[in-house]
Every structure is written in C-alpha cells, then in structure tokens.
Chains A and B, each alone.
Chain A
Amino acid sequence: MNVNPYPLSSDQNNVFFVFKSIGKSKNIVKVIVYTPIGGNRFNLGFGDLNNGEIEDFVISNNGDGSKVLSTVIYSMELFFVSHQDASILIIGSDIRRTKIYNWLICRYKKRIESKFYIFGLLEKAIVPFNENQNFTGFEIKLKPVNFNY
C-alpha cells in the first residue's frame, strides 16, 4: 500500500490526531485518539466528527479507505516517536468492525509488519497475529529500528 496519508494535525504529545478525509461525495473530519489504559498500553479510538459529536460506529464509504488507513498507520508512527515503549490496542466498536480491522490487517500485513509487531487478542491470551484466527482485538508494538551503515 503506497498511498500517501492525509495531512495530520496533532497535539504536542502525539496522542490526539485530526485529519480531513476528502472523498467522492463529501469531506469528513476524522479523529484518532490514543487513550492510556494502564501499564504502557494505549487504546486506539477512531471516529468521524459530525456536528461536534464523535461517531465511531459509522462506516463512511467515502471511497478513500486506503488513504484513511495509510493516515491511521502514519499516526501510529508519530505516536511511537513519543512513546517508543508503548503498545496500541485496537478493538472494534462491534464484531463487524473488529472483522473489518482483521481483514485490513491481513490485507496490509506486509506494510504494517515492516515497522510494527502485530499481536492478536484471544479470550485469554495474546498471540502473534496470523490470518487463520478470529481475534477479538489487536495489539501493535514498535519494532526496534535497525541502522544499516
């Protein structure tokens, strides 16, 4: 997936991001928030801003899914600049959304794994992500950077 991300606005701690999805029929303001949930884990919140309210159940169908996903991945990269040792939890707002996340991770696994470790959440365990299991959520960690001189 070599789609350029949308420009992102962020707070100084790189946990709060806003961008505009420019789609076929409308422009949507999208919000990404990394909320601390204990330990060094942050939960990924993602939704549309509509009349000052956040909607995280809506599926936008704005025709720019790849670009939006690329932007979310870009926000993760920026998040990890300020939080190298943290991990990001990704849980869908419902089963359908979790399945969509599962499908997206499978589809863009190569790109995600180039920079991050991906784990899948089962009922009572976290295991390395694989395409053959249905996970209830996902955890992302930054891979150590290799400097090749």
Chain B
Amino acid sequence: MLYVAKNLDKKQKAGLNSDIEIKEFILKNVGKDLFPEKTAKAKEIVASLKTN
C-alpha cells in the first residue's frame, strides 16, 4: 500500500500517485536496504561507541 504524505492538495496527490516510476520503485524496494555500505558503516560506528 502506498501513502502520500500529508499537506498536499488533491492535484499534487494525483500527480504523485500517477507517477508509475515512483510507485513501482517504492513497491518493489520497500523493506530492502538500498544503502548497504552506509548501513554497514553506521553499524560499525555504533559498535565502536558501545565498546568505548
């Protein structure tokens, strides 16, 4: 299910929802880690904070 953030008027919502590229991209990729290198780096930093 797709959600459009609040504070948009009807025209903006319609325009955004009709964008197939965006819609498909979200549906296909939600829940995936699209930035694995950054995630790994962040985990490393957090782990180093915990050990110190």
Give the total of B residues in contact with A, Cβ under 8 Å: 35
Contact assessment for A29 and B12 in the assembled complex, using a CB-CB cutoff below 8 Å = no
Say yes or no: is A72 at the interface (Cβ < 8 Å to chain B). no
Residue ID in chain A nearest B29 by CB atoms: A16
Contact assessment for B46 and A18 in the assembled complex, using a CB-CB cutoff below 8 Å = no
Tell me the number of A-to-B contacts counted with CB atoms below 8 Å. 103
Contact assessment for A43 and B25 in the assembled complex, using a CB-CB cutoff below 8 Å = no
Give the total of A residues in contact with B, Cβ under 8 Å: 38
Contact (A9, B30) CB under 8 Å given A29-B21, A45-B35, A124-B52: no
Q: What residues of chain A lie closer than 8 Å to B17, measured between beta carbons? A: 9
Q: What residues of chain B lie closer than 8 Å to A89, measured between beta carbons? A: 42, 45-46
What residues make up the interface of B, taking CB atoms closer than 8 Å to A? Answer: 1-6, 8, 12-13, 15-17, 19, 21-23, 25-26, 29-31, 33-35, 37-39, 41-43, 45-46, 48-49, 52
Going nearest first, the 4 A-B pairs with the smallest beta carbon separation are A45-B35, A43-B42, A124-B52, A8-B5
